[in-house]
Amino acid sequence: MLEEIEGLKKSLETEKKTKVNYYEQIAYFRQELSITSSSVQKFELRKRIENAEKEIQNIDSQMESLQKEIRDMEERSKLTQIKPNPVLILPNILNNRIQESKKPKKPERVPEPITIIEPIIYDQIKGDYTLLHELLTNQQWKEADLETTQIFLKIAKRQKAGWLRAIDIANISCSDILMIDQLWRDASGGQFGFSVQRNIWLSVDGKPGKCERPILDDFGDKVGWRINNNWLKNYEEFNFYLDAPQGHLPSFRFSAAIDQFVTWQESFKHFLPRIETCFSGDI
């Protein structure tokens, strides 16, 4: 069964790579569409974009089926490995319960509320995600985090300033935010991403459009941005490994800013309602 699971995982990776190829094709076709003056060529390019988008939808369905099949097989594999204890008597049961109560509990994974994710509208995408996908595929989390910030700055044309204002964040399309989130979630197995952070924010009673300090502190504790009641002030303090707390990345930090923490606070309080809009479907 383990060999079958590995085979399914390889098929899933192949589907992911094929999907990225279609993303790259769409980006190329859109670039050609913006510079050509031929109506015939424009029609042909739009048709190719439409076909690529349909292929991506088919791949998404196939990936969902593969992921479900992998989960089911892994569950069955676990069940076959469970062996009954032949010397199970009542005193031992009581003793085991006492011992279990002494063991430290594992931190609970944040429950995920129902998330209505709008479909990505590829014509609205302004960022180039080729490098980000490559970095995430190679699990270069720090480099991918920096590239994510650079994509936002490029979209807003704020590379020189090095940080985003409220108006810049409001003008970032949900399709770009959804694309970045999807790349992060796929690469990390659901450990990182904006939708993950959004679910954690809601789990600590965060409200859309509000950034109250006690709730922000609870959120920081959950995602590992706040340790022993102290916020991570410098970019190098972040954990750029997959064992980081759930939702730890992307950091949305501007490493070039003079005062990283103050700049981040100002930007993040405007980014929270933006991601809530994108993931609630209220666009």
At 199 the pLDDT is 93
pLDDT for 88-116, tens place per residue? 333 443 344 445 444 444 444 444 443 43
Could you tell me what percent of the chain has a pLDDT over 90? 33
CA dihedral over 248, 107, 207, 266, signed as positive or negative: negative
Instruction: Enter the pTM of the model.
Output: 0.59
DSSP string, 111-143: PPPP--PPPP-GGG--S--HHHHHHHHTT-HHH
Which band of pLDDT confidence, cut at 50, 70 and 90, is reported for residue 160?
A: confident
- What residue spans of 82-121 are helical by DSSP H? 90-102
pLDDT for 198-244, tens place per residue? 999 999 998 876 778 899 999 999 999 999 999 998 888 999 999 99
The alpha carbon torsion through 274, 277, 278, 281 (nearest 10 deg) reads 180
Which band of pLDDT confidence, cut at 50, 70 and 90, is reported for residue 82?
A: very low
Q: At what angle do helices 194-203 and 213-223 cross, to 10 degrees?
A: 130
What's the chain's Rg over C-alpha atoms? 22
Nearest to 250 by CA among 190, 189, 181: 181
pLDDT for 32-78, tens place per residue? 777 878 777 787 888 888 888 888 888 888 888 888 888 877 777 76
At 78 the pLDDT is 67
Cα angle: 234, vertex 237, 240; to 5 degrees: 125
Residue range 13-35: mean pLDDT, rounded: 79
At 258 the pLDDT is 54
Burial (CB < 10 A; 0-12, 13-18, 19+), residue 256, is middle
